[in-house]
Homo-oligomer: A and B are copies of this chain.
Amino acid sequence: MEGLKVLEKREKKVVEIKNTKVGKGHFLFCAGPCAVESREVMEEIASYLKDTPVNLLRGGAFKPRTSPYSFQGLGEEGLKILKEISDKLNIPFVSEVTDTKYVEVVGRYADCFQIGSRNMSSFELLKEVGKTGKPVLLKRGMSATVEEFLNAAEYILNEGNENIILCERGIRSFDPAFRNVLDLNAVAYLKEKTFLPVIVDPSHGTGRRDIVEKLALAAIAAGADGLIVETHPYPEKALSDGFQSLNREEFISLAEKVKSLASVFKYEI
């Protein structure tokens, strides 16, 4: 890995997504549903996010789904809804881009691109979001080594775009008890070795609503610069990932504990 820009010894980077900052003590607290399903659901989510320290909204409009017969997202319509809600909450939003042909439309609405786990090695896509200069939330592939993850970031950096947020979201293991195993070793390691902010997704990282909160707190203690958490007012009715989404009450409880522990670790939140 010698020679990678991402490993250069330099001052830690603060990534700015409009009025939200992450890195060097600035804590990113990103939340929202897995997929945008309708304006009504998004407004209901907004109604409880507004009283929390959430500073980045998330929501999928273009969804990469294992089955072609699963809900594939609302597309541009979903981006419009996200934009509205984000404006109302006065916080920016991030949304996933799954193919080079959607870079333009996602970039037209979203304040930050998300490159999902399944696309971490879609190198053309990495180059294209790199070229936009816009912030990129880069998720680790579900069985990418740390070295491969760093090289994926390098594809973006190499286009002159340093606005990268690395996101650990769990890796695939032999144990059916969990959808993924959250790899906090990687978080501590990436914080030590790179100058980029590193955040954690405890929703995908566990795949179980009942332990999301505990792992969110663990991520903070491991040194994460932020969290990205799935929430839905009615998880049991969600069109995707309901089993790992926190409901209103659970999310508010999480937000309080996150705020409290992040303060112990001297984060601005």
Contact = CB atoms under 8 A, between A and B. Distances in A.
- What is the copy number of this chain in the assembly? 4
A64 B174 CA distance: 20
A148 to B, nearest CB: 6
Interface size class, chain A: 35 or more
A165 to B, nearest CB: 19
A175 interface: yes
A217 B188 CA distance: 11
Interface string A175-200: 11110011111111101100000000
Interface string A110-121: 000000001101
Given A177-B185, A185-B211, A217-B221, 11 more contacts: A64-B123, A145-B174, A171-B174, A172-B174, A174-B174, A184-B218, A185-B215, A189-B208, A189-B210, A218-B222, A221-B221
A98 B123 contact: yes
Contacts of A176: 145, 176
Given A99-B100, A154-B67, A189 B215 contact: no
A125 interface: yes
A27 interface: no
A133 B211 CA distance: 32
Interface string A77-102: 00000000000000000000011111
